[in-house]
Each structure stands twice: as C-alpha cells, then as structure tokens.
Amino acid sequence: MLLLVWAPKAWHRLSPLKSGALLWSRGDKALHVGYRRLSGQVPGEQSRQSHPRGPRFRTRLLITALFGAGLGGAWLAARAEKEQRRQQQRTEALRQAAVGQGDFSLLDHWGQARCKADFRGQWVLLYFGFTHCPDICPDELQKLVHVVEQLEAEPGLPPVQPVFITVDPERDTAAAMARYVQDFHPRLLGLTGSAEQVAQVTRSYRVYYSAGPKDEDQDYIVDHSIAIYLLSPDGLFTDYYGRAKSAQQIADSVRRHMAAFRSVLH
C-alpha cells in the first residue's frame, strides 16, 4: 500500500531518503513519495512465505513424519511388551498359588463319570454354583456363555469348554443339572457328585460354600464364592474373573492367554 503526500506543483530531482521513503524535489518545492510496510513485509512477501514450496520443504515434512511414526511404533511395542510381562508375572503367581491341583471325580449331567484328565487339551471356563440360586448364578453363567459365544465366532481360536460344578449336591442330581444347563448353552457341561466328591473339588479350587438354614418348605440358599476360572489345555489353573469383570473383559483376557500359551507338558 502506498501513502502519497503531494507538495504543490511539479518536481524535478529525485533523491533518496530514509528506508521506506523517496523525495522528488524542484527548488524549494518538494513532493514526498513514501510507502510503509504492512505487517513488516512488502507486498507479495507474505503470500510467498505462507506457502513454502520446494524439495527442501517436502524433505523436512517426510523426515518429520517418519520420525513421528518411529516414535509411535516404539511406544506401542514397549506397551505391548510391558503388558505381556505383566500377564506372565500374573500367570506365574497364580500357578504358585497351587489352585486346582490334583484330580477330581464327578458325574456329568448325562450320568457319565468325569475326571480332570477328560478336559486335557481344551481351554475350560469353570463356574461353581447351584441350580436353585435365584439370581447370581444365572447371571454369571449367562456371562460365561457370552464369552464362549464371542470366542466361538472368531475363526482360528480353539474352542472353549464351559463347565458348571454344583456346590449343592443334595438337590443337584444329574437329572436336575441336565434340566438346568440346557437353558444356557448346548455345550455347557454340568458336573455333580456326592457330598465328599464336591467337597474335594471345591477345596482344590479354594471355593467357599455353606448351606443356609432350611425354611418350612425345606428350601435353602447356599452361600458361595463367585468366580469364573480359566484352565489351560494343560489342565492348569491360569486365571480367574470376579463378578465385576464383564464378558468383554473376560474374552479379551482369554484371547491373550491363548496367544501366550506354551504347553509345559511336552
């Protein structure tokens, strides 16, 4: 933008002034012609600087992008490695807790004898409860079934066997278990047995249970610990999930255990 200041009449001689101004003069008459910069730049300079171009600029952009991608990849790798170490430490700590050691002998809901070795080579999700449970057991079994269904829908993952062991052998006969499990999943296996057999398997998995007093109809509630157990194909206790864990969280955990699994029996 030019700011013009006119003196009377014509001009004759041009002489330089300070930066940003020119003087046209003739005798004692003068014309001052000057300009001032807008934003400290001459016209056209701002547009050239706001759109840098050329191979140098593109090279800088490429280097910056590659550097950022490298940092992001390194962060993700470090995070994955840290999560893997944490899971391995947890798995080792749970194994040292000696949960689920030894064998068991029970009857399935078809009346066939079952032992721990029957599930060797399979991933197992195991829950302890009883068929007369009013709400918690149905909710937890439904959650367990949702986990199994999620994993079943993913090609390439090994199947997971859902198992339900009663803590109420007095009422939960094989026939009662058969009627109960059919409402959840076609592969849900119900296991029962004598009071001594149930006591043995619950001690092995450190499951607390206690039958309450009977009412006038001889009905009662069994108080028991609430957890879903994960067993590896080696038959070893691998993890457990409390009531606060969602089906999605459990499924994610099972996937991680499957990916990290290495048999210790070979």
Task: Establish whether 115 is an annotated binding residue.
Answer: no
Question: Are 30 and 11 within 8 A, CB to CB?
Answer: yes
Task: Establish whether 224 is an annotated binding residue.
Answer: yes
Q: Is the dihedral of CA 254, 259, 260, 265 positive or negative?
A: positive
d(C-alpha 223, C-alpha 208), whole Å:
8
Phi, psi of 125 (to 5 degrees): -110, 120
Paired strand residues for 240? 229
d(C-alpha 102, C-alpha 36), whole Å:
93
Identify the burial level of 220 via C-beta atoms within 10 angstroms of its C-beta, where 0-12 means exposed, 13-18 middle and 19 or more buried. middle
Binding-site residue positions: 133, 137, 224
Binding-site residue positions for Cu cation: 133, 137, 224
